Structure 1
Amino acid sequence: MELTQVIHMNGGIGETSYANNSWVQRKVISLTKRIREEAITCLYRSTLPRRSIAIADLGCSSGPNTLSVVSDVIKSVEKICQKLNHLSPEYQIFLNDLPGNDFNSIFRSLDSFKEKLRNEMVSGIGPCFFNGVPGSFYGRLFLTKSLDFVHSSYSLHWLSQVPEGIENNKGNICNSSTSPPNVKKAYYEQFQRDFSLFLTCRAEEMNEGGPMVLTLLGRKSNDPSSKEGGYIWELLAMALNDMVVEGIIKEEQLDSFNIPDYAPLPSEVKLEVEKEGSFSINHLETSEVYWNAYDNNCNPHDCELDSSETHTCDAGYNLAKCMRSVIEPMLVIHFGNAIMEDVFRRFQKTISDHMSKEKIKFVNVTVSMTRRS
């Protein structure tokens, strides 16, 4: 089956849904808010006055995070309009993800989102027109020169496909510390092809001078299999390998499963932007989020987590649920649904064991760039 039909988060609002377990992604969106505000402010001030702004959020997923970026962008523009005594522009908003995404949940939330936004902006806002855009962002999605601002958070580390020629990555499910050199090379080359294609497609679709802000799960270490990169998937592989030993999963099933995920260095992101040539980089920086939500300078009562995401103080439980909401659809397609509870019970225990011994972080790479003239 094509990956475009398989890669999506758990939909709905259930216990294992992405909507109720996306606290890592929410924290990252909060950490990068300043960069988005700077980008949209520069765009508005450079083309005064504006009658409309077309915004695209790529890899939007579903749940409370989906519209938070849109809300922040609109509020930033409205504040400038009030300060300059300008009329509010009209907003054309495109929400993109792969076809399996839970778009229905997004559409059902739009009325309440608009009402909440109007209540928060007492001076009023311009009309907002929403569009769902199913499809892969590793290809054209929009009309030529139709977008003013493009955003993507925690999506571009997902590759368009599992790299070819990695059949010898046995016992592993990702670019791991025990993967052969050819596997590490194949993952990096797949990232290069995909990210370059992404940039080329967006260059066609964006107006000159338009900003694009991207955040990827990345790393600081030169080792692509470091604990900053895909280490979380190595822990999942441990659980799956135990199930192979116990005869629950066939060895060939595990050996034929690989996750299309690559965590790049900031320098690798910069290199592809410069090689493709359509964008100039304004900011390139990293940020960090601890695996343990309660190490992120917050507690369950005053941080980004809401009550639905803090059923327990077991950090391993919380992180395992977060990762389950991301990877479960792919696992179900390959291994079947019957073993999922067993898989994630083991995964949670493995995560908890490692988190009890050390503090581990996700590293995020954020790049803000402008479409060249």
Structure 2
Amino acid sequence: MTYAITGSAMKTSLGEDKCTCFESLCSGHSGRKRLQSFTADHFNVRNAYEIDDRPGGIDRALRATELLCDAVQAAVQEAALPPDARCVVVVGTGLRELRTLELFWTVGTPMTIDQLHFERALNRRLHTSFPVITLANACSASSFALAVAEDFLRDGAFDFAIVGGCDTITKSMFGLLDRVNPSHPDAVRPFDRDRRGVLMGDGAAAVVLESRASANARGAPVLATLRAVGTSCDAAHETAPDPAGIARAIEDAYQRAGLAPEDIDIIMAHGTGTPLNDKAEAEAMQRVMRQHVSHPRICAMKSMTGHTSGASGLVGVVTAIEAIECGMLPPTVGLEHLMPEARAMNIVNEATPVNARLAQVNAFGFGGVNAVAILECES
């Protein structure tokens, strides 16, 4: 069963709303800047892709919650969702409010345990009493949230679902990546032969899902149709991705959507810029798509937003919808020498006009938690 997307929103280091973000993406702008959240004195890496929302450069608690509330509110307003709707909110996040905990531990910033859950803040912002479920499925969290929301609607448990994703840069995760990266990247360069690793970014995104019949009855414009979300959890390794597990998620998405590889027009790649992730993604896509792997045009937007962690899948979904609506696919910035494993893939390195109908959005996380969304909309 397919579902209508009647509202969407995103915030990244490139802009406060989806229109600004998408314009910046198509212009090839980068949100990379010197680290603001905390001093980089103890790290090898000095850059990140942060949202510039700290007056005086002072970090504060509950930024992930703020970003999530902003995105959800914008999506709900676009969908004109009634506040008394039979609605569930499903949130995907990798780090939740870890930065708030860090500030509590290090400088004594006040916080309470209930602030680690998003429910109170979201309902206060929306003036609702919706149930809120939070998933922490690593970097594919918001795409998994999309799959869970789809299940809720299919089972008739709710009439509407708000799906959100959010993450902000945290000191502990920044430090972990600083140690895990075999070299020290100054920018994210997905699928490039000389890629050196990933840098973190702030981000949040949200969409509103409902049946097509519900949207028609309300007179709500449909931005796109969610055809399917394919998932897999291979648990092959803590951090190294398994091409076979990724391939299973892609195949599951095609099967659920009733599509073949040659039907896909554009792909928002996971594309983290790490040696293992990009290689595994390229191998998996060629394993599934075979001779059709060169057909879809591919964008790796983390080259401009950084890795927005649990929010990244949904940021890709919103960007894919905008790309089809506007007829333009953003470039993959910094792609100078295509890595050998991706030579058969049509990865664009400049903004490219597209006449697209079907989009694939990849999201893969630590532990082999993989999710692939298929979207359809008329350009």
| TM-score, normalization by structure 2 | 0.28
| TM-score, normalization by structure 1 | 0.29
**Greater C-alpha Rg:** 1
- The structure whose residues are more often helix, as a share, is 1
- The structure whose residues are more often strand, as a share, is 2
